């Protein structure tokens, strides 16, 4: 019991102490986070296959209680692991930068809030911690460049409004079911309109937290202006853990969505749309953090899709993907952050060739990039595979499964494409002169990505033995998941083939790592080599340059590698289209709505024209109205 309270109080308490006693800030932060991690580990070991419920208080019939089961302990553990890594990283990056003094306080507040959300056994109690997170999010987003103010405001508006919607959903559930405790006994069924609307309202809260479309817009905006550790911790990790945790809780512990196909179709559609659109947007980004942030949105799609299928294997896959995503996305953000920290820029156009200067960072980035693209044997592959399998199982229920499958695979391909581009832009290709002095980051900044990359490999190779058997399957006790068809002969063949393909790609990179310099021939004119440097966003043309003759450079449009160029052109075009159409559309709708209300405000305020007789006339009218209604 005490562990539970300590999980809630320690992080924020130590953050506060560190804030007050500046000299001991780092020590306090580490102390708090390590002890939290220790308790999380203890809870993890103690509560194996046990549930635990404890009522803190009962107010007006609402039972504010703490509840822990396998799912809880699993999320708790990772919350504190990730927080510890981020703390280690941010201590170096935040040194002597703006907002350094409050940063750890917000980290602690976030961790406390996240632990609180996970430990709540009651929707109302959860809402309290949920809002603590909103507060922490707002505060932590303010720590950054000047423009972070706008991002913070946007985030607060989106998350805040979705909180009101969530609150409404909770109140409806409470009114109809008579209790806001979860897990509900028995599960609430989605058989009438009110229940479905309640579920949908809760869903808005979940996907706003997880950052699925269309409630994602603050994430890319924040990406450019806040420190990498913030991005890595909150949108990439904690928000995913909590959003998907909540989604699983409401979908399988509170309601039973397996009964209702339309609801699941909605979920899956949200997932599929998020995957495809966000990844297309990612493809056209020219800035590292922003690109990653769109992937942070895109990956949510897989989780929502997997959980929405209602097929046990895919649900487990969705949950597994959540933890995998947190691992590799954090790793990617931290690596990109390290590059930015050393190179002082994150514009892909101004970067390149840092592989030899920052080998460890590159290694981590490579592993995480493969993991996110779904390349075996890394963890991302395994969870995506489970989701695909689940979607295929859907054929018994609907014919639309093929669309979801195509969307998911398509998204995977585009993810790979965009990461090849990014990998090249950051670490391969030719290095701009001003980056010659860049060196590997310091120990504290390289350890967290290394640990995460290591986890990527472990969770991929021993997926069945470690994460699935110990973390994921116990968290979904109501499903009997049989990992059939996983290691069949056909599959192995496919994997072998894929492996060969990977080898090829790595081989290409191996040569690309040391770019061969050849004179640029432009009609006899001598060009400055710096000017002619091939920058990242045109990665595929640079491949040309290395391997092909100068002639092919000229007729490049017809070359063998142009498949990529076409691909990039086409989907980049789509991406631009979606940015122009979809994003503009949302912006337009939001703005139109806001403008209507604000102009209504101006109309209303015109009534207050300062003329006393007019005011008295209104009052008189109101009085007459009351008289007519009451006395006559």
Partner 1 sequence: MIFLPLLIALPLFSAFVIPLLSKLWKPFAPVIGNITTFVLFIFSLYGIAAIQGFPMLVYKFGNWPPPIGIIFSFDAFSAFMVFVISIIVFSGALFATKYLNHYTGQWKFWTLYMLLTTGLMGISVTGDLFNMFVWIEISAIASYALVSFGIEAEELEASLKYMVMGEIAGMTLLLAIALIYAKTSTLNLADIALSFQTIQYSKFYWSILALLLFAFSVKAALVPFHFWLPDAHPAAPAPISSLLSGVFIKVLGVYTSARFIFNIFGLTRENAPFFFNILVGIGLLSIVYAGITALSQKDYKRLLGFSTISQVGYIMLGLGIGNFYGIAGAVLYILAHGISKALLFLTSGSVVYVTGERNIEKLGGLGESMPTTAWSFRFGALSLIGLPPLIGFFAKFLIALGAIKQGFLWLAIVAIGFSGVTLGYLLKIENNVYLKKNGVEAKEAPFLMRVAMVFLVILLLVLGIGYKPLMDFVIQPATDALLRGTEYINLILGGI
Partner 2 sequence: MLIFISCIILFLIGLYAVVAKRNLLKIAIGFCIMEYAVNMLFALIGFKSGAIDPVITKVDMPHNFVDPLPQALVLTAIVIGVGTTALFLSFIVRIYEKFKTLDVSEIKKLKG
Q: Which residues bind partner 2 (CB under 8 A)?
A: 605-606, 608-613, 616-617, 620
State which of residues 167, 177, 403, 520 lies at the interface with partner 1 (CB under 8 A).
167
Task: Identify what 1 binds: partner 2, partner 1, none; CB under 5 to 8 Å per kind.
Answer: none
| 489 versus 597: smaller Cβ distance to partner 2 | 597
Q: Where are the alpha helices (DSSP H) in 182-287?
A: 193-210, 218-223, 228-233, 239-248, 261-283
Closest approach of Cβ 600 to partner 1, in Å? Answer: 5
Helix (H, G, I), strand (E, B) or coil at 146: coil
Closest approach of Cβ 388 to partner 1, in Å? Answer: 39
State which of residues 146, 437, 551, 554 lies at the interface with partner 1 (CB under 8 A).
146
Closest approach of Cβ 606 to partner 2, in Å? Answer: 8
Interaction between residue 172 and partner 1 (CB under 8 A) = yes
Closest approach of Cβ 143 to partner 1, in Å? Answer: 12
* DSSP letters spanning 75-101: HHHHHHHHHHHHHHHHHHHTTTSTTHH
Task: Identify what 132 binds: partner 2, partner 1, none; CB under 5 to 8 Å per kind.
Answer: partner 1
Task: Identify what 609 binds: partner 1, partner 2, none; CB under 5 to 8 Å per kind.
Answer: partner 2
Residue 379 to residue 629: CA distance in whole angstroms: 69
State which of residues 21, 46, 577, 600 lies at the interface with partner 1 (CB under 8 A).
600
Closest approach of Cβ 611 to partner 1, in Å? Answer: 10
Task: Identify what 534 binds: partner 1, partner 2, none; CB under 5 to 8 Å per kind.
Answer: none
Task: Identify what 128 binds: partner 1, partner 2, none; CB under 5 to 8 Å per kind.
Answer: partner 1
Residue closest to 306 by CA, chosen among 267, 273, 261: 267
Residue 407 to residue 403: CA distance in whole angstroms: 6
Task: Identify what 399 binds: partner 1, partner 2, none; CB under 5 to 8 Å per kind.
Answer: none
Interaction between residue 231 and partner 1 (CB under 8 A) = no
Residue 316 to residue 481: CA distance in whole angstroms: 8
Task: Identify what 218 binds: partner 1, partner 2, none; CB under 5 to 8 Å per kind.
Answer: none
Interaction between residue 623 and partner 1 (CB under 8 A) = yes
Closest approach of Cβ 367 to partner 1, in Å? Answer: 40
Q: At what angle are helices 359-373 and 312-343 packed, to 10 degrees?
A: 150
Interaction between residue 627 and partner 1 (CB under 8 A) = yes
Closest approach of Cβ 68 to partner 1, in Å? Answer: 21
Q: Using CB under 8 A, which of the segments 130-138, 276-284, 345-353, 460-468 binds partner 1?
A: 130-138
Task: Identify what 182 binds: partner 1, partner 2, none; CB under 5 to 8 Å per kind.
Answer: none
State which of residues 13, 160, 183, 474 lies at the interface with partner 1 (CB under 8 A).
160
State which of residues 9, 34, 53, 168 lies at the interface with partner 1 (CB under 8 A).
168
Residue 476 to residue 71: CA distance in whole angstroms: 8
Residue 123 to residue 176: CA distance in whole angstroms: 14
Residue 560 to residue 492: CA distance in whole angstroms: 29
CB of 169 within 8 A of CB of 201? yes
CA 380 to chain centre: 14
Interaction between residue 132 and partner 1 (CB under 8 A) = yes
| 443 versus 604: smaller Cβ distance to partner 2 | 604
Interaction between residue 443 and partner 1 (CB under 8 A) = no
Q: Residue 328: which region, alpha, beta or left (left: phi > 0; alpha: psi -120 to 50)?
A: alpha
State which of residues 44, 67, 78, 174 lies at the interface with partner 1 (CB under 8 A).
174
The CA–CA distances, whole Å, from 138 to 94, 132, 148, 158, 226 equal: 18, 10, 10, 11, 12
Task: Identify what 24 binds: partner 1, partner 2, none; CB under 5 to 8 Å per kind.
Answer: none
The CA–CA distances, whole Å, from 337 to 216, 227, 361, 362, 441 equal: 21, 8, 10, 12, 10
Residue closest to 371 by CA, chosen among 362, 380, 363: 380
Interaction between residue 552 and partner 1 (CB under 8 A) = no
Residue 421 to residue 568: CA distance in whole angstroms: 10
Q: What is the torsion angle, in degrees rounded to the nearest 10, for the CA atoms of residue 182, residue 3, residue 473 and residue 248?
A: 30
| 175 versus 599: smaller Cβ distance to partner 2 | 599
- The DSSP letter of residue 534 is P
Closest approach of Cβ 522 to partner 1, in Å? Answer: 46
| 57 versus 628: smaller Cβ distance to partner 2 | 628
Q: Using CB under 8 A, which of the segments 128-136, 267-275, 452-460, 535-543 binds partner 1?
A: 128-136
Closest approach of Cβ 597 to partner 1, in Å? Answer: 6
Closest approach of Cβ 284 to partner 1, in Å? Answer: 30
CB of 343 within 8 A of CB of 465? no
Closest approach of Cβ 600 to partner 2, in Å? Answer: 15
Closest approach of Cβ 623 to partner 1, in Å? Answer: 5
Closest approach of Cβ 229 to partner 1, in Å? Answer: 22
Closest approach of Cβ 129 to partner 1, in Å? Answer: 8
| 2 versus 605: smaller Cβ distance to partner 1 | 605
| 168 versus 567: smaller Cβ distance to partner 1 | 168
φ/ψ of 80, rounded to 5, equals: -75, -30
Task: Identify what 261 binds: partner 2, partner 1, none; CB under 5 to 8 Å per kind.
Answer: none
Helices (H) and strands (E) in the chain, counts: 24, 2
Q: Which of residues 29-68 bind partner 1 (CB under 8 A)?
A: 57, 59-60
CB of 395 within 8 A of CB of 323? no
User: Using CA of residue 118, residue 120, residue 126, residue 131, what is the dihedral sign?
Assistant: negative
CA 320 to chain centre: 14
State which of residues 54, 164, 395, 478 lies at the interface with partner 1 (CB under 8 A).
164
φ/ψ of 55, rounded to 5, equals: -90, 120
User: Which residues share a beta bridge with 55?
Assistant: 65
Burial of 340 (0-12, 13-18, 19+ CB in 10 A): buried
Question: Maximum Cα–Cα distance for the chain, whole Å?
Answer: 99
Residue 546 to residue 549: CA distance in whole angstroms: 8
C-beta neighbour count of 48 within 10 angstroms: 11
Residue closest to 328 by CA, chosen among 280, 378, 294: 378
Closest approach of Cβ 586 to partner 2, in Å? Answer: 32
Q: Which residues bind partner 1 (CB under 8 A)?
A: 57, 59-60, 124, 127-128, 131-132, 134-135, 142, 146, 149, 153, 156-157, 160-161, 163-164, 167-168, 171-172, 174-175, 594, 597-598, 600-602, 604-605, 608, 612, 615-616, 618-619, 621-623, 626-627, 629-631
């Amino acid at each position: 019991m005490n562990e539970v309270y300590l999980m809630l109080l320690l992080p924020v308490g130590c953050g506060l102490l560190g804030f007050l006693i500046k000299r001991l800030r780092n020590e306090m932060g580490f102390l708090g986070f390590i002890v939290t991690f220790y308790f999380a580990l203890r809870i993890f070991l103690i509560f194996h296959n046990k549930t635990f419920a404890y009522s803190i208080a009962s107010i007006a019939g609402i039972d504010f209680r703490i509840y822990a089961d396998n799912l809880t302990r699993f999320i708790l553990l990772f919350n504190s692991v990730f927080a510890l890594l981020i703390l280690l990283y941010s201590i170096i990056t935040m040194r002597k930068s703006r907002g350094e003094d409050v940063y750890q306080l917000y980290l602690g507040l976030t961790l406390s809030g996240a632990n609180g959300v996970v430990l709540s056994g009651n929707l109302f109690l959860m809402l309290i911690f949920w809002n603590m997170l909103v507060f922490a999010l707002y505060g932590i987003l303010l720590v950054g460049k000047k423009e972070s103010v706008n991002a913070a405001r946007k985030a607060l508006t989106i998350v805040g409004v979705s909180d009101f919607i969530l609150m409404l959903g909770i109140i409806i559930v409470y009114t109809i079911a008579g209790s806001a405790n979860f897990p509900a006994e028995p599960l609430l069924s989605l058989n009438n309109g009110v229940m479905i609307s309640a579920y949908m309202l809760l869903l808005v809260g979940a996907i706003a937290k997880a950052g699925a479309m269309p409630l994602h817009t603050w994430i890319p905006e924040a990406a450019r202006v806040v420190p990498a550790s913030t991005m890595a911790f909150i949108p990439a990790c904690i928000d995913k853990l909590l959003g998907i945790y909540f989604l699983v809780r409401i979908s399988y512990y509170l309601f039973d969505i397996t009964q209702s196909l339309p609801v699941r179709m909605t979920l899956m559609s949200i997932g599929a749309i998020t995957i495809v659109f966000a990844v297309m947007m990612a493809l056209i980004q020219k800035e590292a953090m922003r690109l990653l942030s769109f992937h942070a949105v895109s990956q949510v799609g897989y989780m929502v899709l997997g959980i929405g299928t209602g097929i046990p294997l895919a649900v487990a896959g969705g949950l597994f993907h959540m933890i995998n995503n947190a691992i590799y996305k954090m790793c990617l953000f931290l690596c990109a952050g390290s590059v930015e920290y050393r190179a002082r820029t994150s514009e892909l156009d101004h970067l390149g060739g840092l592989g030899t200067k920052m080998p460890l960072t590159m290694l981590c980035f490579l592993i995480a990039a493969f993991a996110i693209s779904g390349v075996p044997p890394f963890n991302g592959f395994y969870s995506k595979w489970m989701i695909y399998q689940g979607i295929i199982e859907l054929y018994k229920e609907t014919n639309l499964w093929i669309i979801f499958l195509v969307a998911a695979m398509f998204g995977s391909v585009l993810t790979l494409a965009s990461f090849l581009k990014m990998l090249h832009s950051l670490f391969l290709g030719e290095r701009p002169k001003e980056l010659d002095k860049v060196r590997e980051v310091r120990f504290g900044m390289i350890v967290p990505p290394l640990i995460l990359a290591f986890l990527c490999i472990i969770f991929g190779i021993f997926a069945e033995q470690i994460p699935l058997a110990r973390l994921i399957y116990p968290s979904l006790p109501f499903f009997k998941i049989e990992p059939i068809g996983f290691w069949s002969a056909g599959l192995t063949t496919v994997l072998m083939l894929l492996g060969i393909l990977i080898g090829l790609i790595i081989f290409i990179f191996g040569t690309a790592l040391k770019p061969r310099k050849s004179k640029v021939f432009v009609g006899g004119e001598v060009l400055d080599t710096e000017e002619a440097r091939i920058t990242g966003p045109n990665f595929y043309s640079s491949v040309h340059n290395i391997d092909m003759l100068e002639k092919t450079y000229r007729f490049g449009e017809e070359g063998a590698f142009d498949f990529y160029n076409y691909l990039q052109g086409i989907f980049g075009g789509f991406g631009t289209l979606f940015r122009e159409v979809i994003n503009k559309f949302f912006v337009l709708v939001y703005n139109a709505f806001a403008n209507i209300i604000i102009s209504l405000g101006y109309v209303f305020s015109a009534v207050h024209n300062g003329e006393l007789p007019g005011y008295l006339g209104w009052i008189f009218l109101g009085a007459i109205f009351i008289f007519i209604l009451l006395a006559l």
